[in-house]
A and B are shown apart, each in its own frame.
Chain A
C-alpha cells in the first residue's frame, strides 16, 4: 500500500503542470474521468484540488458539515492504483459530497440535527457502498434542513448554507448543502434525497441538474427516513449526462430494501443524445398560472419554444389535481415522519437531555431539546392526522387523493412522453424571508410534491437566469422508470443553457 502511494505521488508530480489547465469549478464527471484515465491528472491531485477549493470558499458557502480528508486521500490512492493497473471505470477517483442524512460507517451522520450530533453509524448506505465500490471518493458530508424537513436549509441545526449565486439567498432545500457544493465546484457531484422536491428545488435554485428517480430505483437502506413511502436518493450534478452516470452506479434492487426494484435498465446514458424530434411534451396549464414569478414563467415559455424548434410537440394540458397535492403531501409525509422520528428518544443513540428524573421526562425533554421547531411541527401534525378520530378525515383521505393523483398522471402519460413545467414558482429567496410562515414555505413545493406522491421520476435542469441573475429550474416529469426519456429530453435542451459556475465563486 505504501509503495503504491509513493508511486502515485511521483507520477502526480510529473503531471502537475497539466493539472493547472483544468478548471475544477466547471469540471464534469465525464471530463474528470477522461483526464484520470488519460493520466492528465492523478486522483490524489484531483482530490487535493477539491479540498483546496473547499478550504478556500466553503467559509463563504457553508455547503459541508464535515470533511473526510484522511479517508478521502486513502481512497484516492487506492483508486489511482486501480487506474495505474489499467482498471477502474468512469466513477473511479471521482470526488463527491453526500447529504448528511445518508449513513456512512464511522463518519458522523448528523441529519443536521442536535438529536444526532455525534451519531456514527456502524454501517454504510447501499447507495454509497455502490459508489465506493465503483471508486468514487467521499470528500465530506453536506448540510441539509434538519432531517430533510424544509426547503431552504435554514432548518439546519448546524449552519445556514448560502446560495453560490448570491450568498444572501438560500440554496434551497433540503439538499441545500449538496446543491451548493456542486454549484460552487466543491464536489464533482453530490447525493441528495428527495421527499417532496428536496433534490430538484435546490438544484433549480443553484443552477444545476437534480434527479428524483422513480420510487424504488435507488435503495433507501442507510438513508435516514423522513417519509418512507416518498423518500428517494438521487444525484445532483452539473450535467444531464453526469446525472445518468451517477444513476448507473447507485440504482438497482437491494435485498436490504424491500421496496427497491430492479428497473431492468442497464445503462441510463444509452440513447441520451437521440434528441426530441417527435417527442410529445405536455404542459399543464396549472404549472404556468397562479403564483408564479414572471422571470420564471418567461424562461419556461422560452424553453417550450426551444423544444418546438428541436422538433418536439408541445401541448397545453391539465393537471386538475395539482392544487391538492401539497395538502396530501404534507399529511402523508408528516404522518410517516411522526412515526419515523419516534425512535429518537435518548435511549439508543444520539442526544439525551441531562434534565430528567424519570422515563417520561427523559423522553419529553430529550425530544423537545433535541429537535428544532420545524421538525416538532411536522411531528405534531403527523401525530395529529394519525390520532384516534382523525385518521379517516386526513390520512386516509390523503391516500385516496394519492390514488387520484397517480391516476391522473397515468392518464397524461398515455398521451405524452413527458410533462414540462417550472421546478419552483420563484427563484432563490433571501435568507430569513420565509422562515416565519411555514405554510408559505410549504407552498413553494407546489410543482415538486406530486411527483413523489405518484412515485414517478422528475429532473430539474438549468433554464437560464431571471432578471436578478438567479438560476431558473425547469422540471421534466416522466412515467415510472422513464428516466432515459427524461435524460434524453433534458440533454437536448442542455446545450441551450449549459452549466455555468456562479459569478460569486469564480476563482
Chain B
C-alpha cells in the first residue's frame, strides 16, 4: 500500500552563551569530567538557579529569525523524572507559556519553496552525560554539559519526506548560525533532533500513530532514521499490524532503530511552575530592540551578494551555505578584494581545505585572503605559489607575507639571474628551440615551463616570456 509520510521535528540546540543557564560555570565543550561544575549545576541541597539573561535574548532572537511571535509573558516550569544525567530529578523547562510561538521556516525542495510551521520554541537546560562503554562495573556520570542552555524548536507535522526533514533541519541550523545564537556544531552534540514520524493511507485526513526517534545528531542520521522508520512502519501496516506509540533509539552504526525500554509512567512528567524563578516579561520595546539587532540572515545575504556585489547566484548560495564562509567572504570584500576573485578563492581553495580536515572554522580573517590576492596582483607571487601559501595559511594561521618570506617564495624578477637560467634552458632544449624558430609558436610554452620548473615556480612569468622571446629572436 502507498502511504503518505508525516514528519515533525523537535530540534534541541545548545545556545552560544559563555556561562550555563542557571550558574556561572563555563559552557566550553570538552574539559576533564566534572570540572565545569558547581553546587548549583550538580543540584546540591539548598542551591538555587538564577536565569542567564542572554539565554532569554538568544531564544527570543531565534524565534524572531523564524518568524515567531515572542511572548510578552513567559515562565519556567519543572519537568519531573528520574535519570542519573538529571541531577535535580527535574529539568527546568517551559510548559504552557513558552517564549516563542507560531513561526515558520521556508525550505527549498526540488526547486520549490515549502513553508514548514514552527509550533513553539522554549528554553531549557541540557542534561549531563552518561558514559557506558568503557566501564564494566557501571555507568559513569559527567555533569559538565548539565545546565548548558538549550532551546527546543518544535515544528508542525508539515514534512512529507525524509528529504524535507533533512532540508528543514539544515535550514534551522543555518538560521541559528546566522542569528549568532548557536554554533550548531553537530559533532559536539550542540544540535540534536527528535524525529516524530507517522504514516497514513494517501487521502486519509487523520494522522496515523507516530513514533519518536530520539537524539539524532547528524543530518545524515535524520535522513536515514526517517527512511528506515518509514520502511518499518509500512511493513507493520502492510502486514495488518498496528503502530505502537513509542520512543525508539536510532543506532547509526547498524542503521537500525530499537524500541526504548518503556518506562511505565514515561509521560507523567508532573509539570508545575518553577517556584525558584520569577516570570519573564518582555515588553514590545525589548522585542523590537531584539528584532532590530538581528543580523542579516542567509537569504538576505544572497540577495546582497548578487545585486550589490555582482557575483553569480550559484556563488552566492554556495558561500552563504555556512555563516563562516559568508562572514569570511564579507571580510575579504570589505578589506578591498574584488568580489568575484574572493568568491573564486572561497569556493575553490578554501572549501576544499575545510572539507579535507572536516572543519567549519577558518583560522584567519578575510583580510588575509585580500593580502594574498594583492600579492598575486602585484606579481610578487604566482597564482600557483599562492595556492601553496593559502594551504600553509590554513594550516598555521600565519600571514601570507610571513609564509612567502619564510619559505623564500618571492618571484624572481632579477633580469640577470633569470637571463642565465633562460640561456641554460635554451641550450639544453635545442629541439624546442628549432621548433620555435621553425614557426611553432607553441614551443615557447614548453620552454617557459622548463624555466618555471628550474626556478621552482618562483620566476616572474611575464619577464621569463619576454626574456625567452628576446633571446630566441637573437637566434633567428
B415 within 8 Å of A (CB atoms)? no
* Residue ID in chain A nearest B90 by CB atoms: A339
* Residue ID in chain B nearest A260 by CB atoms: B48
Task: Indicate if the CB atoms of B48 and A221 lie closer than 8 Å.
Answer: yes
Task: Indicate if the CB atoms of B270 and A387 lie closer than 8 Å.
Answer: yes
From B42, B48, B89, B271, A345 is in contact (CB under 8 Å) with B89
A195-235 at interface with B (beta carbon < 8 Å):
220-225, 227-229
From B84, B268, B277, B278, A347 is in contact (CB under 8 Å) with B84
Q: What's the least CB distance linking B80 to chain A, in Å?
A: 6
Supposing A339-B270, A386-B272 touch, asked if A121 and B46 sit within 8 A by C-beta, the answer is: yes
B3-48 at interface with A (beta carbon < 8 Å):
39, 42-48
Q: What's the least CB distance linking A12 to chain B, in Å?
A: 36
Provide the residues of chain A in CB contact with B51, threshold 8 Å.
Answer: 258
From A119, A256, A359, A363, B45 is in contact (CB under 8 Å) with A119
Provide the residues of chain A in CB contact with B80, threshold 8 Å.
Answer: 338-339, 342, 386
A429 within 8 Å of B (CB atoms)? no
* Residue ID in chain B nearest A362 by CB atoms: B84
| CA A122 to CA B45, docked complex, whole Å | 11
* Residue ID in chain B nearest A115 by CB atoms: B45
Q: What's the least CB distance linking B2 to chain A, in Å?
A: 37
B78 within 8 Å of A (CB atoms)? yes
Supposing A339-B90, A343-B88 touch, asked if A223 and B141 sit within 8 A by C-beta, the answer is: no
Task: Indicate if the CB atoms of A123 and B276 lie closer than 8 Å.
Answer: no
Provide the residues of chain B in CB contact with A387, threshold 8 Å.
Answer: 268, 270
Q: What's the least CB distance linking A123 to chain B, in Å?
A: 5
Provide the residues of chain B in CB contact with A411, threshold 8 Å.
Answer: none
A57 within 8 Å of B (CB atoms)? no
Q: Mark A103-141, 1 if CB is under 8 A from B, else 0.
A: 100000101000010010111010000000000000000
Supposing A359-B84, A387-B268 touch, asked if A343 and B43 sit within 8 A by C-beta, the answer is: yes
| CA A223 to CA B47, docked complex, whole Å | 8
Provide the residues of chain B in CB contact with A229, threshold 8 Å.
Answer: 275
| CA A386 to CA B80, docked complex, whole Å | 10
| CA A307 to CA B336, docked complex, whole Å | 86
A350-386 at interface with B (beta carbon < 8 Å):
359, 363, 383, 386
B397 within 8 Å of A (CB atoms)? no
Provide the residues of chain A in CB contact with B89, threshold 8 Å.
Answer: 339, 342-343, 345
A259 within 8 Å of B (CB atoms)? yes
A336 within 8 Å of B (CB atoms)? yes
Provide the residues of chain B in CB contact with A386, threshold 8 Å.
Answer: 80, 270-272
B82 within 8 Å of A (CB atoms)? yes
* Residue ID in chain B nearest A111 by CB atoms: B45
Task: Indicate if the CB atoms of A121 and B90 lie closer than 8 Å.
Answer: no
Provide the residues of chain A in CB contact with B242, threshold 8 Å.
Answer: none
B49 within 8 Å of A (CB atoms)? yes
Task: Indicate if the CB atoms of A221 and B278 lie closer than 8 Å.
Answer: no
From A103, A119, A121, A391, B272 is in contact (CB under 8 Å) with A391
Provide the residues of chain A in CB contact with B46, threshold 8 Å.
Answer: 101-103, 109, 121, 123, 125, 220-225
| CA A165 to CA B51, docked complex, whole Å | 47
Task: Indicate if the CB atoms of A347 and B141 lie closer than 8 Å.
Answer: yes
The number of inter-chain residue pairs (CB within 8 angstroms) is 101
Q: What's the least CB distance linking A485 to chain B, in Å?
A: 26
| CA A315 to CA B278, docked complex, whole Å | 37
| CA A86 to CA B176, docked complex, whole Å | 60
Q: What's the least CB distance linking B105 to chain A, in Å?
A: 32
Provide the residues of chain B in CB contact with A343, threshold 8 Å.
Answer: 43, 45, 87-89
Provide the residues of chain B in CB contact with A335, threshold 8 Å.
Answer: 272
A242-257 at interface with B (beta carbon < 8 Å):
255-257
B428 within 8 Å of A (CB atoms)? no
A349 within 8 Å of B (CB atoms)? yes
Q: Mark B47-81, 1 if CB is under 8 A from A, else 0.
A: 11111000000000000000000000000001010
A348 within 8 Å of B (CB atoms)? yes
Task: Indicate if the CB atoms of B275 and A347 lie closer than 8 Å.
Answer: no
Supposing A258-B49, A386-B272 touch, asked if A121 and B82 sit within 8 A by C-beta, the answer is: no
Task: Indicate if the CB atoms of B45 and A220 lie closer than 8 Å.
Answer: no
Supposing A342-B82, A348-B43 touch, asked if A336 and B48 sit within 8 A by C-beta, the answer is: no
* Residue ID in chain B nearest A335 by CB atoms: B272
* Residue ID in chain A nearest B22 by CB atoms: A258
Task: Indicate if the CB atoms of B275 and A123 lie closer than 8 Å.
Answer: no
Which among A119, A222, A255, A391 has the highest number of chain B CB atoms within 10 Å? A222
Task: Indicate if the CB atoms of B82 and A256 lie closer than 8 Å.
Answer: no
| CA A446 to CA B42, docked complex, whole Å | 37
Given contacts A224-B46, A388-B267, 16 further A-B pairs with CB under 8 A are A123-B46, A125-B46, A222-B46, A223-B46, A225-B45, A229-B275, A256-B50, A258-B48, A338-B80, A339-B78, A339-B89, A342-B80, A347-B84, A348-B42, A383-B270, A386-B80
Interchain Cβ contacts under 8 Å between A and B, 21 examples: A109-B45, A121-B44, A125-B46, A221-B48, A222-B46, A224-B46, A225-B45, A258-B50, A259-B275, A259-B277, A335-B272, A339-B272, A342-B80, A342-B82, A345-B84, A345-B89, A347-B141, A349-B45, A359-B84, A383-B270, A386-B80
User: Which 4 pairs show the lowest CB-CB distances between chains A and B?
Assistant: A342-B89, A386-B270, A229-B275, A228-B275
